[in-house]
């Protein structure tokens, strides 16, 4: 059984462009409120750090207030968890300051959480027992990260491979922008690709030095060349389908190779790009073929959210982890508990 902290944990996430607060109790997500800044950043075609921080200042206490409304009268969080790394420093600082203030006021323990550990543990939501046999492989795919992590258990991770340049989400976002599909590109590419022909255009799969590493910058360049070559004759939906297939194929090929060679018995798919239906279907079929367990994060827990931070926090708190009120934020930081 996964040991979770007894009692409700308030979690706050503000590392990038979502302000989120959640109340998690054991493996159960009692509330998960997300205020997205997508519309704010859309006009610039990407996240503007200064604007993100200011939007977090506006949203952080309203989302906390709404999340706390699931508690019964007289009930109070027994602990606080907050993302303090990695991410945009101004954005992180807002969530961390709010979390510290509340932990100080309520006199309850606080634990800082690594954002990617939150994504990795998001698949535990709703499960008293880990839903995958250990060790399991996790494919983390988001706007900033593309990693293959062997999970021996919560807090024990082996990094098998990662992107050497762009993240999978960036491939969708930058490719989608080149195709005129707007921001963020992931969902727009998926929607445009629906029912389109992925074989009209051929986009490359990168060759990388590390067997489980990824590279997506060449794909972005190939989409640019395609747009230049085809001009106004371009079939945007078919190009979106080719782009989606190139990303999905690259991710699935490396993930399945790592699964076969690492001795992992299951594959978890997490992060914003895990919301992609083509990717979910491809990995489910590939895992089925080799008899491996496949589990994708719940759709509402793929893109950034505080529930996943609460789950990771609850596990770390149950293990006795506590931080003083003077901990810092770190824009870049490796996963905690890396082995090997």
Q: Smaller CB distance to ligand KG4: residue 170 or 213?
A: 170
Instruction: Determine the 3-state secondary structure of 268 from DSSP.
Output: strand
Look at residue 321 and give the partner it binds from Zn ion, ligand KG4, none, a contact being a CB closer than 5 to 8 Å depending on partner kind.
none
What stretches of the chain show up as alpha helix (H) in DSSP?
38-42, 49-68, 89-106, 115-121, 168-178, 185-193, 217-230, 236-262, 277-290, 307-318
Beta carbon of residue 177, minimum distance to Zn ion (angstroms, whole number): 20
Interface residue list for Zn ion (CB under 5 A)? 142, 304
DSSP string, 118-162: HHHHGGGTT-SS-SSPSSEEEEEE-SS-EEEEEEEETTEEEEEEE
Q: Smaller CB distance to Zn ion: residue 135 or 272?
A: 272
Q: Smaller CB distance to Zn ion: residue 93 or 303?
A: 303
Beta carbon of residue 303, minimum distance to Zn ion (angstroms, whole number): 7
Beta carbon of residue 325, minimum distance to ligand KG4 (angstroms, whole number): 26
Look at residue 173 and give the partner it binds from Zn ion, ligand KG4, none, a contact being a CB closer than 5 to 8 Å depending on partner kind.
ligand KG4
Give the span between the Cα atoms of 273 and 251, in whole angstroms: 11
C-beta of residue 2 within 8 angstroms of C-beta of residue 128: yes
Beta carbon of residue 17, minimum distance to Zn ion (angstroms, whole number): 10
Give the span between the Cα atoms of 162 and 37, in whole angstroms: 27
Give the span between the Cα atoms of 45 and 24, in whole angstroms: 33
Beta carbon of residue 53, minimum distance to Zn ion (angstroms, whole number): 17
Q: How many angstroms separate the most distant Cα atoms in the chain?
A: 65
Q: Smaller CB distance to ligand KG4: residue 42 or 290?
A: 42
How many Cα atoms are found within 13 Å in the side-chain-facing hemisphere of 299?
A: 6
Q: Smaller CB distance to Zn ion: residue 103 or 297?
A: 297
Beta carbon of residue 211, minimum distance to ligand KG4 (angstroms, whole number): 24
Torsion angle defined by CA atoms of residues 153, 86, 166 and 22, in that order, rounded to the nearest 10 degrees: 70
Look at residue 187 and give the partner it binds from ligand KG4, Zn ion, none, a contact being a CB closer than 5 to 8 Å depending on partner kind.
ligand KG4
> Closest-CB residue for Zn ion?
142
Q: Smaller CB distance to ligand KG4: residue 142 or 215?
A: 142
Q: Smaller CB distance to Zn ion: residue 266 or 271?
A: 271
Look at residue 212 and give the partner it binds from Zn ion, ligand KG4, none, a contact being a CB closer than 5 to 8 Å depending on partner kind.
none
Q: Smaller CB distance to Zn ion: residue 267 or 308?
A: 308
Interface residue list for ligand KG4 (CB under 6 A)? 16, 142-144, 169, 172-173, 184-187, 190, 271-273, 275-276, 303-304
Look at residue 276 and give the partner it binds from ligand KG4, Zn ion, none, a contact being a CB closer than 5 to 8 Å depending on partner kind.
ligand KG4
Give the span between the Cα atoms of 189 and 209, in whole angstroms: 28
> What are the residues facing 33 on neighbouring strands?
21
- Look at residues 315, 323, 275 and name the one whose alpha carbon lies nearest to residue 141: 275
Give the span between the Cα atoms of 265 and 125, in whole angstroms: 20
Beta carbon of residue 303, minimum distance to ligand KG4 (angstroms, whole number): 3
176 to 42, 47, 183: CA distances (angstroms): 13, 15, 7
Look at residue 275 and give the partner it binds from ligand KG4, Zn ion, none, a contact being a CB closer than 5 to 8 Å depending on partner kind.
ligand KG4
With tokens 């979690």, the residue in question is 11
Beta carbon of residue 116, minimum distance to ligand KG4 (angstroms, whole number): 8
């Amino acid at each position: 059984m996964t040991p979770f902290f007894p009692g409700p944990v308030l979690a706050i996430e503000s590392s990038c462009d979502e302000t989120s607060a959640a109340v998690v109790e054991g493996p159960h997500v009692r509330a998960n409120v997300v205020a997205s800044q997508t519309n704010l950043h859309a006009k610039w075609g990407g996240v503007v750090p200064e604007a993100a921080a200011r939007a977090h200042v506006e949203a952080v206490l309203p989302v906390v207030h709404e999340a706390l409304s699931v508690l019964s009268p007289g009930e109070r969080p027994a602990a606080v968890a907050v993302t303090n790394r990695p991410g945009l420093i101004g954005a992180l600082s807002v969530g961390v300051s709010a979390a510290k203030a509340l932990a100080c006021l309520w006199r309850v323990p606080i634990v800082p959480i690594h954002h990617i550990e939150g994504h990795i543990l998001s698949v535990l939501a709703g499960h008293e027992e880990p839903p995958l046999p250990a060790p399991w492989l996790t494919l983390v795919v988001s706007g900033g990260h593309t990693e293959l992590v062997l999970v021996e258990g919560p807090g024990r991770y082996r990094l098998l491979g990662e992107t050497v340049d762009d993240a999978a989400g960036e491939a969708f976002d930058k490719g989608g922008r080149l195709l005129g599909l707007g921001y963020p590109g992931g969902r727009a590419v998926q929607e445009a690709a629906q029912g389109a022909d992925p074989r009209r255009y051929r986009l490359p799969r990168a060759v990388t030095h590390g067997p489980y590493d990824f590279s997506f910058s060449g794909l972005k360049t190939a989409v640019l060349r395609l747009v230049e070559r085809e001009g106004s004759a371009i079939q945007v939906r078919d190009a979106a389908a080719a782009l989606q297939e190139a990303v999905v194929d690259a991710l699935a090929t490396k993930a399945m190779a790592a699964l076969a060679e690492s001795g992992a018995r299951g594959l978890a798919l997490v992060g914003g790009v895990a919301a992609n239906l083509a990717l979910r279907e491809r990995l489910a079929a590939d895992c089925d073929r080799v008899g491996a367990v496949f589990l994708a994060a719940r759709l509402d827990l793929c893109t950034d959210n505080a529930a996943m931070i609460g789950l990771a926090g609850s596990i770390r708190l149950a293990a006795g982890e506590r931080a003083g009120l003077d901990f810092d934020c770190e824009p870049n930081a490796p996963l905690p508990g890396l082995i090997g």
